[in-house]
Amino acid sequence: MSAVLQNPSTISAAHTNVKLLINGKLVESKTQVWKDVVNPATQVVLARVPFATQDEINAAIVSAAEAFKTWKNTPIGARARIMLKLQELIRRDMKKLAACLTAEQGKTLPDAEGDVFRGLEVVEHACSIGTLSLGEFAENVAGGIDTYFLRQPIGVCAGITPFNFPAMIPLWMFPMAIVTGNTFVLKPSEQDPMTTMLLAELAMEAGVPAGVLNVIHGGKEAVDALCTNPAIKAVSFVGSCHVGEHVYKLASTHGKRAQCMMGAKNHAVVMPDASKDQSLNALVGAGFGAAGQRCMATSVVVMVGEASQWIPDIVSKAKALKVNGGTVAGTDVGPVISKQAKTRIEGLIAQGAAEGATLELDGRNPVVPGYEKGNFIAPTIFSGVKPGMKIYDEEIFGPVLIIVNVDTLDDAIALVNANPYGNGTGIFTQSGAVARKFQNEIDVGQVGINVPVPVPVPYFSFTGSRGSKLGDLGPYGKQAIQFYTQVKTVTERWFDDSLTNTGVNTTISLK
């Protein structure tokens, strides 16, 4: 069954209705527009998600604005303890969250647990808010005058998250926003909202007060409402380029802070001196894990010189991966998110072959017993790919790995830097000099050295660049503290009436 908009009357009442979270309560939407939440491995309808009405969206924002009046003054220690409780509850329900995530998104169970765990790391980091939010103080910047700055919350913030990480990316956003004293309105992907709702319920159980976290559902209308409502002060987005560009422009035009992490075409450069088996294992795992539906997936392998002789070995390793439903033990590659995504990816594969690339491994139409209706594409590999081919120029977002051959490291660096995206890149080598040259000259936000998916831990910040990012600051880490707070600088003097009056000073100097 395709995931299309449905009138409520056309869907069985037995299906679960995904709720809204408004002012601390799970609310049944009054909308007339719904969408099926479909298991991508079986096409079974798991639930239906409402496209919230404008009144419901406004109610969530009003709730957040009202809650901010008191939440902003909640002691830092109290906020940190809620985060401590939330991380405890996420650990308690890890298996439940992963099972839900696998059912609605299609990831393997181990990968789903990894999705939850990488978000959990951000919650753990949020527990350090006392240290993270410290200001600065300078005594006697002039005679008897001190200056210091404070970090204060900015107000109601909003987050718009994609389908590929329904646990991790919401956890990148709302914990950092609310632990810094803001309130939050979250709009998860309408394709897999159930895992996010479980996390929202855990936040309530952890002690997040009513109105501090709200969740609404919908499509473009909901996104536009969050970007234009005057009560919202900041918008965080992760997803595709065309939507990200729209969000950034609309939110910025309406006077909001905006951070948009968007598309990618991540290159991994393989030098001839690289550790062969370990490097190829890493590349195959990074290319085909999560069915290639990671913004940090390795989608382009750049073989330098004699490393091109390893192409048959990559193909052999990819052939050995097991394609199956995410709950089946030993599965390496699950389904892609939807029938529409499957059709698009297959179309790009056909076009790549038509444009002259060599189809080393064709993963279209795999046989998956018991999951005949699933959205499966097996690992697919192209060699002989060149810039200008559509499979090189576009983000495929599926289990398709393309291989480009170059002669030298300088050629590889020039190739990567000429690509418009700047999310992540990597190099595989045993030469420290080569690695250092690469990290210095490459114009990409996140670099891995013998690391295929260089997503930083939450003590640092996610730092994509160029066509992969709009906005100065990234999600989580220290940059998130900057994004979700405003700096107030205070210059103070206390008079001692026993001292001599120095008279009127009409200059701008401080003495």
Tokens for 119, please give them: 């978000």
Q: What is the pLDDT of residue 496?
A: 79
Q: What pLDDT, on a 0 to 100 scale, did the predictor assign at position 498?
A: 76
Catalytic residues: 295
How far is it, in rounded angstroms, from Cα 256 to Cα 13? 40
What is the side-by-side order of every strand in the sheet holding 145-153?
136-142, 145-153, 485-493
| pLDDT at 511 (0 to 100) | 63
Tokens of 40: 């991508």
Q: What is the pTM of this model?
A: 0.93
For the chain, what is the radius of gyration of the CA atoms?
25
Find the helix packing angle between 409-418 and 432-441, rounded to 10°.
30
* Model pLDDT, residue 279: 97
Burial status of residue 10 (CB atoms within 10 A of its CB: 0-12, 13-18, 19 or more): exposed
Residue 248 contacts residue 258 (beta carbons within 8 Å): yes
Enumerate residues 6+ apart whose C-beta is below 8 A from 503: none
In this prediction, residue 509 carries a pLDDT of 67
Show the tokens assigned to 344.
Answer: 């698009």
């999600």: which residue's tokens?
A: 475
181 close to 150: Cβ distance less than 8 angstroms: no
Strand partners, 266: 298
User: Coil, strand or helix: which one is 415?
Assistant: helix
Q: What is the pLDDT of residue 10?
A: 32
Residue 247 is predicted with a pLDDT of: 97
Three-state secondary structure string covering 98-150: HHHHHHHHCCCHHHHHHHHHHHHHHHHHHCCHHHHCCCEEEEEEECCEEEEEE
Cβ pair 233, 157 in contact under 8 A: yes
H or E segment at 299?
A: strand 298-304
Cα dihedral 225, 226, 228, 232 sign? positive
Distances (CA, A) of 362 to 18, 318, 509: 38, 11, 73
What is residue 2's predicted lDDT score, i.e. its pLDDT? 33
Distance in angstroms (rounded) separating the CA atoms of residues 295 and 338 = 17
Consecutive sets of 10 residues in the chain, 511 residues long: mean pLDDT of each? 33 70 97 97 97 98 98 97 98 97 97 97 96 92 92 97 97 98 98 98 98 98 98 97 96 97 95 97 96 95 97 97 96 97 98 97 96 97 97 96 98 97 95 98 95 90 91 91 96 83 72 63
**Which structure tokens are listed for 414?**
């020039």
Helices and strands: H and E segment counts in the chain: 16, 24
> Distances from the Cα of 228 to the Cαs of 31, 58, 223, 233, 305, in angstroms?
21, 11, 9, 10, 52
